[in-house]
Amino acid sequence: MVVQLRICVPGELSAVTLKTCREQRGAAEVALVPGASVVPQGDVIEVLIARESVEELLEKLEILKVQDMGSIAMSAPEFVLSRNADRAEQAAPGDGADAVIWDDVTRQTGEDSRLTWNFIAFLVLATQLAGIGIVTDSPIAIVGAMAVGPEFGPLAALAVSLATRQWKLGRRAAVALCVGFPVAMLLAALTAWLSVPLGLFPRDALDKGSAVEFIYHPGPYSMIVAVLAGIAGMLSIIGRRSAALIGVFISVTTVPAAGYVAVALVLGEYQKAAGSALQLLLNLVGIVVAALAVLLFYRMVYRRVPHGVARSLRRQRTRSRR
């Protein structure tokens, strides 16, 4: 698996950046287009590199302050025929599917953790679906609510913020969750409150919902499923396996539990509301803790750029500016 980096650098950093890219283990091709960058004025360097070597190269470029004076863009070619690329992948340590590109993980989770109208809309819609599934005893509607719910993004962002100490990202994710869930639950409760007088469902609807009893009966497996989902979800983000995330969404009962709390409070089923609230809390905590454990494991096994190499790059950067 190879990716392509497009690096815009000012003229004074071009030579040392080009040298760093050429010497990087796992680099298959390096191309230089002198003077191609207008803003900032300088050169464009394109690198075809094995995915497992990207993080090390990005760390070196960060030492050179390339991102401060220029830019780095990453893309994944869909199809590459190259013996050089094959040899580069063999030379690179590890496997591309297991490689963590920390800036990419932060970007992915950061985009999904913002409190936007889109996030609120999807969470409200998911909670409404959950409410309908609860009062109609419909597992299909419950699964649909799980699939629509957007809450995994902020939960993953919380884990990333704790692992990388990016507190701004964590605050943004916490705001999205702390605002999104109460708004969605309030609207679900309002819908339930209006539905009872209209005769859309009876007041004893929760007594007949045998198919959704698991929502307000949290147990050991509630935490186990949440932990497994958190691990699978974070591995999906790291490996860019979006298809696996669908399975994560429909395996946890965060949104159904939120919907059950809202409906149960309206119908006066306070014990069931408490059980559902505990289910929601267990799922949220389990997902974040498991995702954080995955990231800390990758942090532990990742080999950073040696101090000697880092010092050498800083000296080269200083000389290039003279």
Cα–Cα dist 260/258, whole Å: 5
Q: By mean pLDDT, which of 25-34, 123-132, 159-168, 196-205 is the weakest?
A: 196-205
pLDDT digits (tens, 9 = 90+) for 22-55: 988 889 999 999 988 888 888 999 999 998 889 8
Tell whether the torsion through CA atoms of 196, 201, 207 and 213 is positive or negative: negative
3-state secondary structure of 208: coil
**What is the arithmetic mean of pLDDT over 253-277?**
91
3-state secondary structure of 217: coil
DSSP string for residues in 19-61: HHHHHSTTEEEEEEEEEEETTTTEEEEEEEEEGGGHHHHHHHH
204 pLDDT above the threshold of 90: no
185 pLDDT above the threshold of 90: yes
Cα–Cα dist 55/38, whole Å: 27
188 pLDDT above the threshold of 90: yes
pLDDT digits (tens, 9 = 90+) for 51-91: 888 988 999 999 888 888 899 999 988 888 889 888 888 88
What CATH architecture is 2-99+305-320? 2-Layer Sandwich (3.30)
Q: What does the block give as tokens for 146?
A: 């799980």
> Which phi-psi region, left, alpha or beta, contains residue 44 (left: φ > 0; alpha: ψ -120 to 50)?
beta
Q: What is the pTM of this model?
A: 0.84
For helices 54-63 and 307-320, angle between their N-to-C axes, nearest 10 degrees: 50
Quote the pLDDT of residue 251.
64
Quote the pLDDT of residue 100.
83
Quote the pLDDT of residue 178.
94
Indicate the average pLDDT of the chain: 87
